[in-house]
Structures are given as C-alpha cells and as structure tokens.
Amino acid sequence: MGFYDLSKEERTALINEMEATILNDLHRKQWTEIFTYAADRDTYIRKQAYTILGKIYKADSALRHTILTTIKELITARDEKIRQTAIYASGEIGKIDAAPVIDVLEKGLKDRHHAVRNGVIGALKQMGEKNPEPTIMFAANHIHDPDPEIRRQVIHGIELRGRTHPEDILPLLRERQHESHKRVKETIIHVLGQISYKRGGLEKVIHHLTTWENKEIVAQAVKEIITIHQRESSTAKTAAQAQEYIAKKMKDFE
C-alpha cells in the first residue's frame, strides 16, 4: 500500500513514526532504518525521509554532523533511489546551509544514473528559492563544465530562482548564449520562457536579451516567450500585450 493510499490520519501517524525512527538512528549514529526509507519504492516515503532529515537538521544543531555523515553514506549506496534521496536531503539542508552539502551535489551531477542527476535539478530549485547566493555560485562554477549534461542540470536548476528574480540568473544564461549542444540550448530557451511570464519578468528578460550577440538564440527565445504567454493562464501580460512589448523593445535588434 502506497503513502497516498492511506487516510490522512494514517499518513500523519506514519510520518510521526518515521521521524521517531530516523531520530533513533541518528542518536545511535547508525542509518539502518534511514537506508530502508531511502530505498522505498514509494516516492512519497522517500520524500518524507529526506524532508524529515532536513527538518531535524534545522531544528537540532547537535545532530547536524551526524546527518551530514548519514547523507555522505547514502550518496555512496549502490541503489540509485538511495543516492537520489541523499541529493534531495542535501537540497533540504541547502535551503539554510549550503556549504556542507556542495560536495554531495557535485557527486550527484556526475552520477551514473539519470534519476540522481535529475535530482540535483530539483535540489537546486529548492535551494535557489530559499538560499539563492550559494546556489547561483554553484551554478556559476559548473555552467561551463565540459559535460553538456552538467551544464543542462545547473541551468535547469536555477530556473525557479529566475521566476521571481530573473536578474539573478540572466547573466549566467548570457554566458551560454553560444551554446552548441542541442539539449542544453533547448534548456536555456525553456528557462528564458519560464522566467518571462511573471510580473516584471518579461521586461527584465527582453531588456537583457537586447544585449546578447547571438541573434539566433534570441529569436528562438522570443518565440518561446510568446508561446508561453499564449499557453499559460497566469501570465502578467496577455499574449497580445507581450508581442506588442517585444516588438517595441526589440525593433532595433535586427
């Protein structure tokens, strides 16, 4: 039976049981049960496990070292679900304290399994919302990595921060404006579209795009931005308003 097959009361009881079990593991400086939760086939059980680790890290400074040690054990596991849980737990911790988990995230970037690598995207998204400075620095350190998959992951990972603060990530995207790898280029265009439709986002994105030299990627980004405004129902401007604004601001960008 899965987590969401349980009633609300049963889910609450299970979460409380998991927290008590995880705390017991941590106090005993072992991780037998934590590993069991981290390997569970149910995504939501694994989610509760890494959320609880983040919660305990925030609440109990005496257990922080043990939690970090636990995560560094999890990231070496043979099971990719356990390694992915380590990445998401690092993201939870990174919301308040990024430095101790940077090395775990870097291992995740190069993991052999796509689920773990993609977990880094989610971790960076969560960190960027709550703790942007080290998250942006992490992305800046890896955005020119020779491995295109790593470039794609960090670009996608800073998207959520860009939705509320486009100015924080636009300079990094500009650094990759001449990206040659198809999938990474598509991710840059996707992120530009995603950060353009909230209030104030279109103005910041278009202003920045007028400073780019690569007119081909700018044209593709503009097409994506218009498509987003046509498709999304929560855009700050209508599609017609967005097109009019873009045409006015980019009339000299030929």
Residue 94's Cβ-count burial label (10 Å; 0-12, 13-18, 19+) is buried
Sequence-ordered list of residues with C-beta below 8 angstroms from that of 191, at least 6 positions apart, any chain: 155, 156, 158, 159, 162, 169, 173
Which among 127, 157, 187 is the end of a domain? 157
Is the pLDDT reported for residue 133 higher than 80? yes
Domain membership of residue 178 as a residue range = 166-254
Q: In terms of domains, do 151 and 172 share one?
A: no
Of 59, 138, 131, 137, which is closest to residue 104 (Cα–Cα)? 138
Mean pLDDT of the 51-68 span: 97
The structural domain count of the chain equals 2
The pLDDT value given to residue 7:
87
Q: What is the pTM of this model?
A: 0.89
Mean pLDDT of the 101-110 span: 97
Q: In terms of domains, do 131 and 210 share one?
A: no
Give Cα 203 to chain centroid, integer Å.
24
Residue 84 tokens, joined: 């992915």
Percent of the chain with pLDDT over 70: 98
Report residue 252's pLDDT band, with 50, 70 and 90 as the boundaries: low
Q: In terms of domains, do 176 and 149 share one?
A: no
What letter represents residue 222's amino acid?
V
Is the pLDDT reported for residue 253 higher than 80? no
The pLDDT value given to residue 1:
66
Mean pLDDT of the 26-48 span: 95
Q: Is 82 helix (H, G, I), strand (E, B) or coil?
A: helix
The pLDDT value given to residue 254:
58
Which among 157, 189, 218 is the end of a domain? 157
pLDDT, averaged across the chain: 94
Q: In terms of domains, do 6 and 131 share one?
A: yes
Say which residue, 208 or 236, is predicted with more confidence.
Answer: 208
- The model's pLDDT over 145-172, given as tens digits with 9 standing for 90+, comes to 999 999 999 999 999 999 999 999 999 9
Is the pLDDT reported for residue 36 higher than 90? yes
Mean pLDDT of the 106-134 span: 95
Q: In terms of domains, do 177 and 226 share one?
A: yes
Say which CATH number the domain at 84 has: 1.25.10.10
Mean pLDDT of the 80-106 span: 97
The pLDDT value given to residue 236:
84
Residue 175: CB atoms within 10 A of its CB come to: 12
The pLDDT value given to residue 234:
85
Q: In terms of domains, do 251 and 178 share one?
A: yes
Q: In terms of domains, do 146 and 244 share one?
A: no
In sequence order, what E strands does the chain have?
none
Exposure on the CB side of residue 183, measured as CA atoms within 13 A: 9
Report residue 114's pLDDT band, with 50, 70 and 90 as the boundaries: very high
Helices and strands (H and E) in the chain: how many? 15, 0
